[in-house]
């Protein structure tokens, strides 16, 4: 199985191009990840994340890749709590950016369990044992694809910022950019 992604560096985030439609190797990979039914190891998820990212990017659904958002959301458990994995934790910003990219397109309405809103909020779940979120991790929520984006993106960003504020009120109150985006919306 060989899938080639045209990618380029954009700041710190790796840009992955959308998949051709149909893409049987990607559909097979996503089916296997979903069929496994549990979180993969951290390194396995990091290795396969570009496939999930590419399947959720772009305006058209890729046949056979419908479970990509569910797989991504399932692995959000590895961002905090008992299952935290350092390799996956570094992907928080990319995971959130991927969901925000999906929300830019009408096809985001076809995802139900979980919805893109739920998946985005899961990307920012923290517990008492987890250190506070950092400004670069929250950045996607505040940019052009988040609080400054289209209606779906703005709603998702505000719901997620609300969830963050409930867990970490000091973070929201001490960051003037977050306050600005909340007042703007």
Share the mean pLDDT of the chain: 89
pLDDT, tens digit, for every residue of 61-113?
A: 889 999 999 999 999 999 998 889 999 999 999 999 999 999 999 999 999 99
Q: What is the mean pLDDT of residues 176-183?
A: 86
pLDDT, tens digit, for every residue of 42-55?
A: 999 999 999 999 99
Q: pLDDT at residue 9 above 60?
A: no
Structure-token match 């590895």, residue found: 78
Which pLDDT value is given to residue 30? 96
User: Which stretches does DSSP call E strand in the chain?
Assistant: 7-10, 13-16
Which pLDDT value is given to residue 116? 97
Which has more confidence, 135 or 103?
103
Which pLDDT value is given to residue 15? 67
Determine contact, residues 71/52, Cβ cutoff 8 Å.
yes
Q: What is the mean pLDDT of residues 128-142?
A: 89
Which pLDDT value is given to residue 183? 81
């Amino acid at each position: 199985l060989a899938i080639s992604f045209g990618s380029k560096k954009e700041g710190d985030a790796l840009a992955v191009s959308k998949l051709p439609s149909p893409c049987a190797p990607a559909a097979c990979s996503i089916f296997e990840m979903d069929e496994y039914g549990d979180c993969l190891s951290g390194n396995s998820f990091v290795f396969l994340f570009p496939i999930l990212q590419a399947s959720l990017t772009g305006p058209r659904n890729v046949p056979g890749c419908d479970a990509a958002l569910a797989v991504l959301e399932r692995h959000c458990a590895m961002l905090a709590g008992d299952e935290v994995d350092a390799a996956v934790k570094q992907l928080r910003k990319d995971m959130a950016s991927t969901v925000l990219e999906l929300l830019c397109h009408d096809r985001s309405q076809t995802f139900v369990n979980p919805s893109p809103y739920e998946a985005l909020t899961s990307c920012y779940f923290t517990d008492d044992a987890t250190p506070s979120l950092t400004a670069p991790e929250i950045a996607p929520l505040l940019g052009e694809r988040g609080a400054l984006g289209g209606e779906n993106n703005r709603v998702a960003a505000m719901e997620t910022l609300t969830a963050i504020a409930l867990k970490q009120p000091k973070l929201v109150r001490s960051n003037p950019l977050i306050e600005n985006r909340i007042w703007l919306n």
